[in-house]
């Protein structure tokens, strides 16, 4: 998720559509701590913040979230 505004819209639409339970299996990746705070109320499999606010850092964070543990 790239902004507080898009994160809030994502949650609002997910709630209206009844899809919030699907996030239990989803890895959320946020561009900043502020974005992570905006979506923290959802139940994610994992929620992480990229090291830097850039597309490249977001991709690295997504790769890391998907690594087998």
Mean pLDDT of 11-33: 93
Q: What is the mean pLDDT of residues 1-30?
A: 93
pLDDT at position 12, please? 95
pLDDT tens per residue, range 24-57: 889 999 999 999 999 998 999 999 999 999 999 9
The DSSP line for 6-54 is HHHHHHHHHHHHT-GGGGGG-EEEESSHHHHHHHTTS--SEEEE-SSSS
Tokens 């898009």 found at: 6
Supply 21's token pair.
């339970």
What number is the average pLDDT over the span 55-65? 93
Query: Please, which pLDDT band fits residue 16 given cuts at 50, 70 and 90?
Result: very high
In the beta sheet, which residues pair with residue 27?
46
């Amino acid at each position: 998720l790239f902004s507080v505004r898009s994160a809030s819209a994502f949650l609002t639409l997910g709630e209206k559509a009844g899809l919030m339970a699907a996030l239990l299996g989803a890895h959320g990746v946020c561009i900043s701590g502020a974005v992570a705070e905006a979506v923290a109320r959802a139940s994610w499999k994992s929620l992480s913040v990229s090291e830097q606010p850039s597309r490249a850092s977001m991709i690295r964070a997504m790769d890391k979230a998907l690594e087998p543990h």
